[in-house]
């Protein structure tokens, strides 16, 4: 066997083995299953740094508004704080299938990312304690409301107040609440939009670890011992669905809805796939709340359960969360809300780029690599009989502040994730690489076989040509001579004659 034949046979054997093994691995999905099993149990990346940006609506024409005019506001901010929220007191439950944890939040001011000094900058905004007292007294007698109104006016307390950003955000001793506290000690005499939220947690959580089903990874099992709430007006609205927004299960697909339970809103919201994006060289899926999340129940009946009491509903784009706090929640500048809320206040300009809430998830690992949670706090201002100061105002959902909670994966974690995803891609596609190598060797085998066959045909043609050439040469250069079984007796005068047999012997050709 020639060396060429050995190469052909060896190539064929290797090619056959590669194709058989590669196709078997592709069909059995051995490597994909191994990678997916590993991803379902992979340790989570550390959460990206979270920043809270607070923007305030500074009222520029309080007198005009109280006289029945249209309110005007000017946005000031941001005042940025770094948020730290480690999980502490972690305890595994039920053979590691569930996890108990607390998530205390701490906020640290970041001056280089802020527009000013919160302890110096003043803002004029709605006096929320005063409005809360008015609304609380609305069910009492007219005479009591009038008496309280006269008393508060004597103290110089009005519908609008001027305070520093720090006071409005982190709390101050309010004169109205101080008077109420003297009568009802359970009422706190301090007020702030973030009062008692620095260094505290939002409740006791029990999460699923995903040991039984990876799709349950990070989902909330109970919150403060509850599997469902009781203050909304339907069972569906009272459900505690999804995660806390910090983690999600791996192997996310574009068709699924992701649920997040927002403890500060006392409800769950869902997010749908929007588009593919890239963050620091990492491919991700963008999810965002669809338009129906805060849609009016007439257009989306499933939202009827968020009307408390039942039937007391606001229009599209706003949610009354009086079960948690005396406020109304919306997206910033009433983005995606009924135009009547936008037109009721001057100075608002909703747009998708600055006011949309979204979450960018790496689909293989389920890790959030970029997030923007944006929400606006509002309060309803309306006329209350017995409080003459409100007799001319038009009912308005008044913007107080909006928060932009942002988080983006850091460079080191992004580099590690890119490397990990590359390894996952290579390992997952290893069977295809084997099949590809088999196909390449198959092509090489075909080329070698064809060239070998061509070579053999060329050799045969050369042998035939040489044989034919030899035959023609012999025919031209050979003559018949006379031979005899007797010894030659040369004679000088007589030529040689034929004997008893004839043989061929090369002699010079004779001329005819």
Tens digit of each residue's pLDDT, the chain (512 residues): 566 666 666 666 766 665 576 666 556 554 445 544 554 444 455 678 899 999 999 999 999 999 999 999 999 999 999 999 888 898 999 888 999 999 899 999 999 999 999 999 999 999 999 999 998 888 888 889 999 999 988 888 999 999 999 999 999 999 999 988 998 899 899 999 999 999 998 889 999 988 888 889 889 999 999 999 988 988 999 999 999 988 898 889 999 999 999 988 889 999 999 999 999 999 999 999 998 999 999 899 989 999 888 788 899 999 988 777 778 999 999 999 999 999 999 999 999 999 999 999 999 888 899 999 999 999 999 999 999 999 999 999 999 999 999 999 989 888 888 887 887 777 666 566 666 676 776 677 677 667 766 666 666 666 656 665 665 555 555 444 454 444 555 444 444 444 444 444 444 444 43
Cα 480 to Cα 478: distance, rounded to the nearest angstrom: 7
Question: Cis peptide leading into 309, omega within 30 of 0?
Answer: yes
Local structure of residue 433 (DSSP, 8 states): H
Q: What's residue 222's pLDDT? A: 94
Pairwise CA distance, residues 126 & 56, whole Å:
11
Measured distance CA(401)–CA(126) in Å, rounded: 10
Cis peptide before 156 (omega within 30 of 0): no
How many helices and strands (H and E) does the chain possess?
11, 22
pLDDT of amino acid 505: 44
Whether the Cβ atoms of residue 247 and residue 44 lie closer than 8 Å to each other:
yes
Half-sphere exposure of 255 (CA within 13 A, CB side): 0
Residues 6+ apart with CB under 8 A from 176: 127, 129, 130, 133, 152, 155, 157
Task: Reply yes or no: is the peptide bond before residue 78 cis, omega within 30 of 0.
Answer: yes
Q: Reduced to 3 states, what is the DSSP secondary structure of residue 391? A: coil
Given a contact cutoff of 8 angstroms between Cβ atoms, the answer to whether 187 and 198 are in contact is no
φ, ψ (nearest 5 deg) of residue 298:
-65, -30
Question: Are the C-beta atoms of 48 and 245 separated by less than 8 Å?
Answer: no
Rounded to whole angstroms, the Cα distance separating 308 from 228 reads 17
**How many Cβ atoms are within 10 Å of 373's Cβ, its own excluded?**
18
| The pLDDT value given to residue 12 | 66
Look up residue 207 and give its two tokens: 């999460």
119 is written with which tokens? 């302890």
* Alpha-carbon gap, residue 316 to 336, rounded angstroms: 8
pLDDT of residue 87: 85
Q: Which of 106, 36, 42, 97 is nearest to 367 (CA)?
A: 42
Handedness of CA 355, 361, 367, 370 (dihedral sign): negative
Q: In sequence order, which residues have a C-beta less than 8 Å from that of residue 49 and are 6 or more positions away?
A: 82, 407, 408, 410
Cα 231 from Cα 277, distance rounded (Å): 38
- What dihedral do alpha carbons 389, 390, 393, 398 form, nearest 10°? 110
State the DSSP string of 473-491.
Answer: HHHHH--EEEE-SSPP---
Give CA–CA dist 287/276, Å, rounded: 9
DSSP at 454: H
Torsion sign (Cα): 119, 124, 127, 131:
negative
Give the N- to C-terminal CA distance of the chain in Å, as an integer. Answer: 54
Burial 186-220 (b: 16+ CB within 10 A, else e): eebbbbbbbeebbeebbeebbbbbbbeebebbbbb
Burial class of 319 by CB neighbour count within 10 A (0 to 12, 13 to 18, 19+)? buried
Residue 491 is predicted with a pLDDT of 47
For residue 274, give both structure tokens.
């929007």
Query: Rounded distance, CA 129 to CA 160, Å?
Result: 10
pLDDT of residue 459: 60
């Amino acid at each position: 066997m020639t060396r060429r034949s050995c190469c052909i046979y060896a190539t064929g054997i290797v090619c056959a083995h590669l194709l058989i093994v590669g196709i078997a691995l592709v069909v059995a999905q051995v490597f994909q299953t191994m990678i997916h099993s590993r991803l379902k149990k992979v340790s989570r990346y550390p959460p990206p740094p979270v920043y809270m940006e607070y923007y305030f609506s500074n009222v520029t024409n309080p007198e005009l508004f109280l006289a029945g005019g249209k309110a005007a506001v000017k946005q000031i901010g941001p005042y940025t704080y770094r948020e730290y929220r480690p999980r502490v007191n972690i305890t595994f439950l039920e053979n590691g299938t569930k996890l108990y944890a607390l998530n205390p939040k701490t906020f640290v001011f970041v001056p280089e990312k802020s527009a000013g000094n919160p302890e110096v900058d003043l803002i004029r905004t709605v006096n929320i304690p005063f409005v809360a007292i008015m609304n609380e007294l609305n069910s009492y007698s007219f005479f009591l409301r009038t008496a309280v109104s006269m008393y508060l006016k004597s103290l110089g307390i009005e519908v609008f107040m001027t305070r520093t950003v720090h006071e409005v955000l982190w709390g101050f001793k309010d004169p109205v609440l101080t008077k109420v506290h003297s009568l009802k000690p359970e009422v706190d005499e301090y007020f702030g939009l973030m009062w008692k939220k620095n260094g505290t947690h939002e409740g006791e959580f029990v999460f699923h670890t995903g040991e039984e089903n990876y799709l349950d990874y990070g989902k909330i099992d109970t919150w403060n011992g509850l599997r469902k709430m009781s203050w909304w007006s339907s069972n569906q609205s009272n459900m505690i669905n999804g995660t806390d927004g910090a983690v999600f299960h791996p192997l996310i697909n574009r068709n699924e809805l992701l649920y997040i339970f927002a403890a500060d809103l006392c409800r769950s919201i869902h997010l749908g796939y929007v588009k593919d994006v890239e963050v620091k060289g990492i491919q991700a899926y963008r999810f965002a709340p669809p338009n129906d999340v805060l849609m009016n129940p007439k257009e989306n009946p499933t939202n009827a359960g968020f009307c408390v009491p039942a039937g007391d509903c606001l229009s599209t784009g706003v949610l009354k969360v009086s079960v948690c706090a005396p406020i109304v929640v919306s997206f910033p500048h009433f983005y995606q809300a009924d135009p009547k809320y936008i037109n009721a206040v001057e100075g608002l300009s909703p747009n998708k780029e600055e006011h949309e809430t979204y979450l960018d998830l790496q689909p293989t690992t389920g890790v959030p690599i970029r997030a923007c949670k944006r929400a606006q706090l509002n309060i309803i201002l309306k006329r209350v009989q017995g409080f003459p100061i409100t007799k001319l105002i038009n009912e308005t959902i008044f913007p107080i502040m909006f928060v932009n909670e942002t988080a983006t994966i850091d460079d080191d974690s992004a580099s590690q994730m890119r490397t990990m995803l590359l390894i996952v891609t290579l390992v997952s596609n290893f069977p295809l690489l084997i099949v590809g190598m088999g196909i390449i060797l198959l092509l090489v085998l075909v080329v070698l076989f064809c060239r070998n066959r061509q070579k053999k045909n060329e050799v045969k043609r050369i042998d035939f040509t040489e044989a034919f050439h030899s035959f023609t040469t012999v025919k031209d250069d050979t003559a018949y001579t006379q031979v005899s079984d007797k010894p030659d007796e040369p004679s000088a005068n007589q030529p040689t004659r034929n004997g008893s047999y004839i043989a061929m012997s090369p002699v010079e050709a004779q001329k005819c």
